[in-house]
Amino acid sequence: MYVRPRRQLRGAATLLLAAGLLLVTTVPALADTATPNNPAATNAAAIDTLWRAVLGVTVTIFVLVGGWLLYTSIRFRERPGDSSEPPQVHGSTRLEIGWTVVPVLILIGLAGYVAYKLPAAENISSSANAIRVHVTAQQFSFSYTYEATRKPPPGSALVVPVDVPVVIDLTTKDVNHDWWVPALAPKVDAIPGQTNHTGFTATRTGTFTGQCAEFCGPGHAGMTITVQVVSTAAWNSKYGSLHN
């Protein structure tokens, strides 16, 4: 016999209501503190959107399932003086089908959402106004060569103007490396013998840092990345027009 006491249902309803209120008030704040980046480019913003969506779904499931387990553990625990055998029950076919089908549908929904949104994160501009930069990795630094720039920025930092698409062609002179600036672009591998590509369009000025994310030797920890995003006026005054 399948037992479903009214008190249990009232307790479950109360628990679900409390969990819902908790999620509404805490998940947005949790997303702000736990997000892996503070987006400063359209590509990074797409990654951030995916992060928040997946985080919201997984935290909701965790709170509901964990809360239900906690409730049932307390509500139906053995109490001092209990000597009678508890009611013997069997499962509900509809309930068992439901808790199998619903998680599958949630996973399918998440996979579809990620597949829909991921191209925006990986988008590489084909605009004629895009700046193309050849990035060369080697133990333990990155160097930058600007294509079609009259007066390339000096130094070891990548300097780009705001609101202008940037296309990066990444190669390596030795072992595997990884170019990653979380606030701007997705991670991309530098693999010997091939050229990989990434890109971004910065949406605000500032200095953004990253790190080689592929262990490449004893100096790996010091293989950092600096990207300076400047205004278009500052770029034109220092480095000339964007193209010859």
125 versus 133: the higher-pLDDT residue is: 133
Average pLDDT over residues 18-34: 55
pLDDT on residue 159: 92
Average pLDDT over residues 211-219: 91
pLDDT tens string 60-94: 888 888 888 888 888 777 777 777 777 777 778 88
Strand partners, 172: 137
**Please, what is the Cα angle at 32 between 203 and 103, to 5 degrees?**
110
**Please, what is the Cα angle at 115 between 113 and 118, to 5 degrees?**
100
In the chain, the largest separation of any two C-alpha atoms, in whole Å, equals 89
Is residue 201 pLDDT above 70, yes or no?
A: yes
Please state the pTM of the whole predicted model.
0.70
Q: How confident is the model at residue 177 (pLDDT cuts 50, 70, 90)?
A: very high
Amino acid at 126: S
140 versus 121: the higher-pLDDT residue is: 140
The two tokens of residue 232 are 């278009």
**Residue 221: half-sphere exposure toward Cβ, Cα within 13 Å:** 1
